Amino acid sequence: MLIQGIKRRTLTPANYYGEPGQGDSRIISVIASIFFIALWALVTEMGWVKPLFLPTPSAVIERFGDLVVHGFSGVSLTEHLAASLGRVFGAFFLAVVTAVPIGILIGSNVWVRGVFDPLIEFYRPLPPLAYLPLVIIWLGIDETSKVTLIYLAMFAPIALSARAGVTSARSEQIQAAYSMGATKSQVLYHVIIKSALPEILTGLRIGIGFGWTTLVASEMVAAEAGIGFMVLNAAEFLVTDVVIAGIIIIGVIAYAFDLFMRYLEKKLVPWKGY
């Protein structure tokens, strides 16, 4: 009966045999989240895993309250959050204003593609830790190197998504626009960019994920505040509840931003079928 009730609330009868993945998954997500938290509580409360390796949910909540009141390593939780958010979203803004135009130009201009495509494809597979020493040598150990490292991690997926989106514009649409008297700039904006917008937004979601992944690596070097710094510092002293609290904070912020990007997709590209 429970499964039947969930199906009635998630599946759309008219589209039962329609496109893959249709339906509302929010109820399933809530039930799954509750199940995993309950499993975590069961494993830890029964003593099957030592608190050093995995503390109980109640211990993590208690530690989170302590972080809110007293902070960590002489820095308040608000300052840790402000430092990390400033680095990630500062790099994200720079990546958006540079990677999106370059990606569009790579997809629409053979000269730009010839110049930038080899560079992006060369450094894209490299892990950020591989070129972190070089970034430090060039830019030092201040905030510039941290933001640059996160920016480089975001740039490639955003640029490649914009490039892939340009190919979504069909030649029939472009020829129809020209036949009705559109200029090159009008075709670029009204046909090519709007056709590429779904891919660009997907690239932004992927890029911000790479940014959060690189945040911890960037805060390994001479950082005095930040969620990644807090996690790394706590790991050195085996304060596992702080480590898990920091991981949860990063996950919640990243997931909230992803939900915001999904909302933008529904508003900006409703024809995509989200």
Total domains in the fold of the chain: 1
Within-domain flag for 40: no
> Distance between CA 99 and CA 256 in Å, rounded?
23
Assess contact for 240 and 248: CB atoms under 8 A.
no
Task: Between 177 and 6, name the one with better pLDDT.
Answer: 177
The percentage of the chain sitting over the pLDDT mark of 70, rounded to a whole number, equals 89
Assess contact for 72 and 233: CB atoms under 8 A.
yes
> Distance between CA 258 and CA 96 in Å, rounded?
15
Within-domain flag for 239: yes
Within-domain flag for 31: no
> Distance between CA 234 and CA 138 in Å, rounded?
29
> What pLDDT digit, counting tens, does each position of 118-127 carry?
899 898 888 8
Average pLDDT value for the chain: 84
> Distance between CA 253 and CA 39 in Å, rounded?
23
> What pLDDT digit, counting tens, does each position of 225-272 carry?
888 889 888 888 888 999 999 999 999 998 999 889 888 888 888 776
The reported pLDDT for the residue numbered 9 is: 60
Within-domain flag for 7: no
Within-domain flag for 274: no
> What sign does the dihedral 198-200-201-205 (CA atoms) show?
positive
CATH of residue 172's domain is 1.10.3720.10
Assess contact for 160 and 103: CB atoms under 8 A.
yes
pTM across the whole model: 0.83
Amino acid found at 105:
L
> Distance between CA 208 and CA 204 in Å, rounded?
6
Assess contact for 23 and 7: CB atoms under 8 A.
no
Within-domain flag for 254: yes
Both structure tokens of 201: 């937004």
The percentage of the chain sitting over the pLDDT mark of 90, rounded to a whole number, equals 24
> Distance between CA 157 and CA 18 in Å, rounded?
31
Within-domain flag for 85: yes
- In DSSP notation, 61-101 reads HHHHHHHHHH-BTTB-HHHHHHHHHHHHHHHHHHHHHHHHH
> What pLDDT digit, counting tens, does each position of 29-58 carry?
888 889 999 999 999 888 888 888 889 999
The residue-averaged pLDDT of 113-139 equals 88
The reported pLDDT for the residue numbered 29 is: 80
Domain coverage including residue 206: 59-269
Within-domain flag for 137: yes
The residue-averaged pLDDT of 1-21 equals 57
178 CB-contact burial (10 Å; exposed 0-12 / middle 13-18 / buried 19+): middle
Helix axes 128-139, 194-218, angle to 10 degrees: 80
